């Protein structure tokens, strides 16, 4: 099954897996699942790292790229259909990065691994 990781789920999976719920950790560790990290998450990590709000090795983008390979993940590019979906979804969440993840999960019809309870309002499948 394809699974999209929220930014915090990715960061915890690579650096502090104990912060993940048992259900999300099992889904991430299950080799039968195809794990996806959105370019929106890479963008969010780069922004937060650059602002000093996130402490990870710098430069952030090559670090994330190495972690994606190391943890058998793939990148999910942002497509025009994802952008159109962002416009259609209700404003339950104001964070543009989270809205893009929701739009991608809905458009691709894949579950999102996230502990963000606000995202449940979108009716997508959340694993946590």
> Which domains does the chain show, CATH number per domain?
2-127 (3.40.50.1010)
Using the predicted structure, report yes or no on whether residue 23 has a pLDDT greater than 90.
yes
**CA distance linking residue 51 with residue 61, whole number of Å:** 14
Half-sphere exposure of 75 (CA within 13 A, CB side): 15
Question: Which of 16-25, 38-47, 90-99 shows the lowest per-residue confidence on average (mean pLDDT)?
Answer: 90-99
State the pLDDT confidence band at 92, using cuts at 50, 70 and 90: confident
Does 64 sit behind a cis peptide bond, omega within 30 degrees of 0 on the bond before it?
Answer: no
The tokens 């690579």 sit on which residue?
A: 14
What does the pLDDT average to over 44-73? Answer: 95
Residues 92 and 56: beta-carbon distance below 8 Å: no
| Listed residue (107, 57, 56) closest to 81, CA to CA | 107
Q: Which of 98, 104, 66 is nearest to 84 (CA)?
A: 104
pTM of the model: 0.94
DSSP letter, residue 119:
G
Are 28 and 113 contacting, i.e. CB atoms less than 8 angstroms apart? yes
Q: Work out the pLDDT band at 44, boundaries 50, 70, 90.
A: very high
Angle at 101 (CA atoms; ends 125, 2), nearest 5 degrees:
55
pLDDT for the residue 93: 79
């Amino acid at each position: 099954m394809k699974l999209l990781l929220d930014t915090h789920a990715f960061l915890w999976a690579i650096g502090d897996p104990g912060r993940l719920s048992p259900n999300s950790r099992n889904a991430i560790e299950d080799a039968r699942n195809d794990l996806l990290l959105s370019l929106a998450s890479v963008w969010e990590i780069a922004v937060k790292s650059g602002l000093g709000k996130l402490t990870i090795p710098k430069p952030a983008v090559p670090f994330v790229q190495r972690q994606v390979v190391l943890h058998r993940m793939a990148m999910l590019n942002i497509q025009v259909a994802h952008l159109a979906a962002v416009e259609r979804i209700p404003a339950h969440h104001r964070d543009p990065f989270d809205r893009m993840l929701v739009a991608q999960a809905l458009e691709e019809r894949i579950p999102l691994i996230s502990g963000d309870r606000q995202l449940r309002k979108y009716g997508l499948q959340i694993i946590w």
